[in-house]
């Protein structure tokens, strides 16, 4: 049947020659498999043979992943290592008849998504109201105020805001709801505050070509505003206003959700307004609210 080292080399050759894996991929898989074999030599008290690999238990694989975590490997790195090892064991099953069902039962490590980082009410309000402070013209200033007021006031993604046309734009005296086309072509209804309609109404007075099918937010040449321009505008403003580095267009969407939750809005309503397919995505904002509450406690409580 051969040794694990021989079987490992056969697997790497198969990856390179039959699967056409890149050299970097083959090298990474070799390191990952060698890492497992090295760990098992210590863990089992001797260099394992193929029979020992077939007899490995779920606890052995978990001990290997735990050792990787203790060495500083993050969840994504451990998941990649596990994928390499699973591929090796599948190869052993096909080529050598060595079957280990335990490795299939091992749950892949999940990378923890970072919590959304919201601005404070004052910071978000400053972006929406004062973003025009360094605008090169009154028209650009009105456009930027309208855009960032819309992002914070309606919780839109920057792509959703920049895809709006003049004909669909909320405006003074118009509808109190906005139809937004989100990810996957899913349409949702978002309430529009009067301050948002007023800001867009001011911008429309400067709009160079306000035909119904024209982009609502335009760039210097009259086409749709590039998202990079909006991001750069906010980056300059946050340096001017001393805002944190996470003050980005998407942070205004996070702020919208976080401030609604803090104000008593229910998660299901926030989910609908954000256009989240899953409530679990929206539930992350409850952790943000709790984290901010703890920060206030630590900052203000005498024993914090």
The pLDDT value recorded for residue 8 is 93
Convert the pLDDT of each residue in 259-286 to its tens digit: 888 888 877 888 888 877 766 666 666 6
Question: Residue 90: is its pLDDT beyond 80?
Answer: yes
Active site residue 57: no
Catalytic residue among 31, 183, 268, 298: 183
Average pLDDT score, the chain: 87
Assign 296 a pLDDT band (cuts: 50, 70, 90): very low
Question: Residue 215: is its pLDDT beyond 90?
Answer: yes
Active site residue 253: yes
Q: 188 - beta bridge partners?
A: 180
Question: Residue 9: is its pLDDT beyond 90?
Answer: yes
CA 148 from centroid of its chain's CA atoms: 21
The secondary structure of residue 218, as a DSSP letter, is B
| pTM for the whole structure | 0.60
* Strand (E) or helix (H) holding 180: strand 177-181
Burial class (CB in 10 A: 0-12, 13-18, 19+), 67: middle
CB 242 within 8 A of CB 261: no
CB atoms within 10 A of CB 64: 22
Question: Residue 92: is its pLDDT beyond 50?
Answer: yes
Q: How many residues does the chain have?
A: 304
**What is the four-CA torsion angle of 161, 162, 167, 172, rounded to 10 degrees?**
50
CA pseudo-torsion sign 81, 82, 86, 92 = positive
- Across the range 29-36, mean pLDDT stands at 94
Active site residue 183: yes
- Across the range 195-219, mean pLDDT stands at 95
Active site residue 276: yes
Dist. CA 28–CA 224, nearest whole Å: 43
- The phi and psi torsions of 172 (rounded to 5 degrees) equal -55, 135
The pLDDT value recorded for residue 293 is 46
Catalytic residue among 117, 188, 235, 250: 250
Catalytic residue among 157, 197, 207, 238: 157
Assign 16 a pLDDT band (cuts: 50, 70, 90): very high
Dist. CA 128–CA 256, nearest whole Å: 12
The pLDDT value recorded for residue 56 is 94
Dist. CA 75–CA 283, nearest whole Å: 22
Convert the pLDDT of each residue in 231-254 to its tens digit: 999 999 999 999 999 899 999 988
Active site residue 121: no
Catalytic residue among 238, 253, 254, 259: 253
* Strand (E) or helix (H) holding 295: helix 279-300
Convert the pLDDT of each residue in 124-158 to its tens digit: 999 999 999 889 999 999 999 999 999 999 999 99
Dist. CA 145–CA 147, nearest whole Å: 6
What domains sit in the chain, N to C, each tagged with a CATH number? Answer: 4-105 (1.10.150), 121-300 (1.10.443.10)
């Amino acid at each position: 049947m051969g040794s694990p080292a021989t079987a490992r080399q056969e697997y790497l050759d198969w990856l390179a020659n039959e699967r056409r894996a890149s050299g970097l991929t083959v090298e990474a898989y070799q390191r990952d498999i060698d890492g497992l074999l090295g760990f098992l030599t210590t863990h089992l008290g001797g260099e394992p043979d193929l029979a020992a690999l077939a007899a490995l238990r779920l606890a052995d694989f978990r001990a290997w992943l735990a050792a990787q975590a203790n060495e500083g490997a993050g969840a994504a790195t451990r998941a990649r290592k596990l994928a390499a090892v699973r591929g090796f064991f599948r190869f052993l099953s096909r080529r050598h008849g060595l079957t280990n069902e335990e490795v299939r039962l091992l749950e892949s490590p999940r990378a923890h998504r970072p919590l959304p980082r919201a601005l404070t009410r004052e910071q978000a309000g400053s972006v929406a109201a004062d973003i025009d402070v360094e605008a090169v013209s009154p028209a650009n200033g009105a456009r930027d105020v309208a855009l960032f007021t819309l992002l914070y006031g309606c919780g839109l993604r920057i792509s959703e805001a920049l895809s709006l046309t003049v004909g669909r734009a909320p405006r003074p005296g118009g509808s109190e709801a906005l139809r937004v086309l989100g990810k996957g072509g899913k349409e949702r209804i978002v309430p529009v505050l009067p301050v948002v309609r007023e800001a867009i109404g001011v911008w429309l007075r400067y709009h160079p070509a306000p035909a119904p099918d024209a982009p609502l937010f335009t760039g210097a040449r009259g086409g749709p505003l590039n998202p990079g321009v909006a991001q750069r505008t906010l980056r300059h403003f946050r340096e001017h206003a001393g805002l944190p580095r996470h003050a980005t267009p998407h942070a205004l969407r996070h702020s919208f959700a976080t401030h609604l939750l803090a104000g008593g809005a229910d998660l299901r309503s926030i989910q609908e307004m954000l256009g989240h397919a899953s409530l679990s995505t929206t539930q992350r904002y409850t952790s943000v609210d709790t984290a901010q509450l703890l920060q206030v406690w630590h900052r203000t409580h005498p024993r914090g």
